[in-house]
């Protein structure tokens, strides 16, 4: 199944709808979807290194737009949808502490957590719930999400052929590493917040 998903992403990179699919995943991940866009960005950039920066731009724009939806969920729908999403990821009892931290460190929280494997939707929803300045939220989201995706694009474009060879040889191993980092980010967020 993992090989089929990887092959689908590699194949999708050459299709006209590749950017749309990547953008949809990036948008959804910033507000409610659990799987990060890196799962598509990496194989697509490996398949088309010439489009790596284009894919990074798509991820960045869609992620910030999805972050705005997450902010709106936190600001206007927190008691229903927002609380449910936050609880779904295991952060329900930590929201008040996170809101207090926002009062002191809001900018740093957005900048740091936006580039880590900590689920970004937690930052977007809590930013809205905490009433963090929307313009600053968007600015810092552009910086942090752009940095994350463009750094990935740079590395994939520069080391893509070697990376693709290693990934394809040991796909299961690299997927396991990816899952460990993702789960580690979630666990770290539980104890950091």
Angle between helices 120-130 and 95-113 (to 10 degrees): 120
Predicted confidence (pLDDT) at residue 172 exceeds the cutoff of 70: no
Residue 57, Cα to own-chain centre: how many angstroms?
A: 13
Predicted confidence (pLDDT) at residue 46 exceeds the cutoff of 90: no
The mean pLDDT value of the chain amounts to 79
Place of tokens 């949808």: 81
pLDDT over 70 (residue 6)? no
The closest alpha carbon to 34, from 42, 25, 43, belongs to: 25
For residue 36, name the pLDDT band (cuts at 50, 70, 90). Answer: confident
Q: Residues 110-156: pLDDT tens digits? A: 877 776 666 788 888 888 988 889 999 999 999 999 998 998 888 88
Who contacts 20 (Cβ-Cβ below 8 Å, separation ≥6)? none
- Ranking 80-89, 106-115, 160-169, 184-193 by mean pLDDT, the lowest is 184-193
DSSP structure class, residue 170: T
Q: Which of 53, 11, 27, 67 is closest to 156 using CA atoms? A: 53
Reported as a pLDDT band with limits 50, 70 and 90, residue 35 is confident
Helices 52-76 + 120-130 axis angle, to 10: 40
**Phi, psi (deg, nearest 5) at residue 13:** -60, -25
Q: How many residues does the chain have?
A: 193
Mean pLDDT, to the nearest integer, of 93-105?
74
């Amino acid at each position: 199944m993992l090989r089929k998903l990887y092959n689908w992403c590699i194949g999708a990179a050459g299709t006209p709808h590749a950017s749309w699919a990547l953008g949809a995943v990036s948008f959804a991940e910033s507000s409610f979807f659990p799987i990060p866009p890196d799962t598509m960005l990496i194989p697509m950039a490996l398949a088309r290194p010439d489009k790596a920066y284009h894919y990074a731009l798509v991820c960045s724009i869609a992620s910030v737009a999805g972050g705005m939806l997450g902010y709106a969920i936190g600001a206007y729908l927190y008691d229903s949808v927002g609380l449910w999403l936050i609880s779904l990821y295991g952060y329900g009892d930590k929201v008040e502490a996170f809101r207090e931290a926002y009062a002191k460190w809001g900018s740093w929280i957005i900048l740091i957590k936006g580039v880590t494997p900590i689920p970004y939707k937690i930052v977007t929803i809590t930013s809205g719930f905490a009433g963090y300045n929307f313009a600053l939220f968007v600015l810092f989201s552009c910086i942090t999400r752009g940095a994350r995706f463009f750094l990935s694009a740079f590395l994939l474009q520069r080391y893509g052929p070697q990376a693709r060879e290693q990934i394809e040889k040991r796909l299961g191993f690299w997927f396991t590493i990816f899952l460990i980092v993702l789960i580690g980010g979630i666990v770290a967020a539980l104890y950091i917040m």
